[in-house]
Amino acid sequence: MSEFLATFEGRAVAFSDWLYAWVLATALLGVGLYLTVRLRGVQVRHLGRMIRTVVGSRRGAGGGISSFQAFAVGLATRVGIGNVAGVAIALALGGPGAVFWMWVVAAVGMATALSEAILAQVFKERWRDRTFRGGPAFYIRRGLGSRGLAALFAALCVLAMTFGVVMVQANTVSGALAGHGLAPGWSAVALMALAAPVLLGGVRSVARVAEYLVPLMALAYLLLAVIVLVTNATAVPEALTQIIRGAFGLDEALAGTGGGVIAAILNGVRRGLFSNEAGMGTTPNAAGTATVAHPVQQGLMQSLGVFIDTVVVCTATAVVILLAGPAVYTPGVTPESAGASLTQDAVAAALGTWTAWPMTVMIFVLAFSSILGAYAYAQVNLDYLGGGRAQRVLGLVTVATTGLGAILTLTTVWAVSDVLVGLMTVINLVALVRLTPTVARVLRDYERRSDRGAKMQFVAAEHLPRPVRDRLPEDVWG
């Protein structure tokens, strides 16, 4: 059995490296730049409006899922283990320069996230429980008219969320608790016991929990990081300089460590994608459930989520680790297996060992919220495939994979997640490029209404070509 797992792990890692190095690195940056140009730098022009939109986003759901709840579900998987363990792994494998490439992915990814959220809203469907369902599977089928590709994406998403992302979160929690002497088996039991009541309640239950849990934990973690940065303010510029110089191989002190420029790009793109999810096709599943007056309103919020995740939270984590110095982190020496414990050790080095348990609790809650978000994405795609009545089965399977992820090795879990997520991303990026004209038309409508102070009311018939309109449900946008 161990020989089989070793062979499987090796092949999964090799395929994942090829996929990210030769396909996704180019595709993510290329599509992000293309959308940035086509939408006239929307992530810069409307940054202020994104913030204002979030402020009033808890109203107007009419019994469905509010815009803020959908945003919180998306943030649940964005601001999670990718910000704690993902950044640490990127630094271990790619050196400080990997963080720069995470910034690049996020900068162009804000336009990508806005586009996929807009499409999720435009092509969403009303569901039996008075909420909506939307996401790549829906806009691939209704926007592109491809049922086969839509079904393939939905199936990959169910597998990636249930057997990939969920296990990554559980594995990180297990590693953090192991530092306190708790065996992985007990970590598995604890996670499964907490997850079961929420997961078996469905998407609406997940949204209610995420609405309060995610902002609270994200702010608590960010506050701890800010305290570290403030108490070491004079050393922060040097840490940021390491990131810039490392991205282009300009730091002689790092020569031959961290894998060089290629490793920085590869790991920055890979971990940046896992963390902010722009282009992956996951967060649109949450965006499509929201009740809003205009699709762009949800698009602006999802785009801001990318900024919060990478530019704010991931950067804070990276700088905290770099400030800890060689006693905690050395490029090219610190192993990938350090994971979340590297971030824990860095915080402890700055503030004292008393932070060990608070950090463990934060990691536990961030991972738990990400498990809930991943389940919500899987549920939306299972509904698309016609398995809505199997909601309880999906919940039970997700609870089981939560326990399984807690006891498997770190490398195996990340490799499985990366491969499944990478395949999803390729399909989603193709759809985004082909549906860009639709995104541009919907965005122009929103901007015209905003400039005139007109009522925010999207009418699909005014903006979509006849073949696409004929594939839309009549009870959503008219």
Residue range 222-271, pLDDT digits in tens = 788 889 889 888 989 998 998 888 887 766 445 445 556 777 777 777 77
pLDDT in the model for residue 263:
75
Reading phi first (left if > 0) and then psi (alpha if -120 to 50, else beta), residue 339 is in left
Q: Residue 369 has which token pair?
A: 């919220």
pLDDT in the model for residue 354:
85
Q: What is the pLDDT of residues 421-434, one digit of tens each?
A: 888 999 999 999 99
Residue at token pair 């839309």: 472
Residue 103 has pLDDT above 50, yes or no: yes
Which residues are 332's β-sheet partners?
none
Q: Which residue has the higher pLDDT, 73 or 67?
A: 67
Banded pLDDT at 56 (limits 50, 70, 90):
low
Instruction: Name residues whose C-beta falls within 8 Å of residue 96's C-beta, 6 or more positions apart in sequence.
Output: 239, 242, 243, 245, 246, 247, 251, 254, 258, 318, 322, 331
Which residues are 125's β-sheet partners?
133
pLDDT in the model for residue 255:
44
Residue 32 has pLDDT above 70, yes or no: yes
Residue 379 has pLDDT above 60, yes or no: yes
Other CB atoms within 10 Å distance of the CB of residue 451: 8
Instruction: Name residues whose C-beta falls within 8 Å of residue 51's C-beta, 6 or more positions apart in sequence.
Output: 304
Maximum mean pLDDT: which of 58-67, 259-268, 330-339: 259-268
Q: Which domains does the chain have, with CATH numbers?
A: 2-448 (1.20.1740.10)
- Judged by DSSP in three states, 95 sits in coil
Residue 61 has pLDDT above 60, yes or no: no
Banded pLDDT at 437 (limits 50, 70, 90):
very high
pLDDT in the model for residue 93:
79
pLDDT in the model for residue 146:
92
**What single DSSP character describes residue 333?**
T
Reading phi first (left if > 0) and then psi (alpha if -120 to 50, else beta), residue 202 is in left
pLDDT in the model for residue 43:
93
* Core vs surface per residue 367-394: b (16+ CB within 10 A) or e: bbbbbbbbbbbbbbbbbbeeebeebeeb
Q: Which residue has the higher pLDDT, 64 or 459?
A: 459
Least confident of 7-16, 204-213, 344-353: 204-213
pLDDT in the model for residue 476:
75
Q: Report yes or no: 60 and 132 within 8 Å, Cβ to Cβ.
A: no
Least confident of 314-323, 329-338, 367-376: 329-338
Q: Which residue has the higher pLDDT, 437 or 399?
A: 437
Q: Report yes or no: 311 and 103 within 8 Å, Cβ to Cβ.
A: yes
Q: What is the pLDDT of residues 114-151, one digit of tens each?
A: 999 999 999 998 877 677 888 999 999 999 989 999 99
pLDDT in the model for residue 443:
94
Banded pLDDT at 60 (limits 50, 70, 90):
low
Q: Is the Cα dihedral 445, 448, 451, 454 positive or negative? A: negative
pTM of the model: 0.83
pLDDT in the model for residue 154:
94
pLDDT in the model for residue 256:
45
Instruction: Name residues whose C-beta falls within 8 Å of residue 359's C-beta, 6 or more positions apart in sequence.
Output: 176, 224, 343, 344, 347, 348
Average pLDDT, the chain: 81
Q: What is the pLDDT of residues 354-378, one digit of tens each?
A: 888 888 888 787 777 788 788 888 8
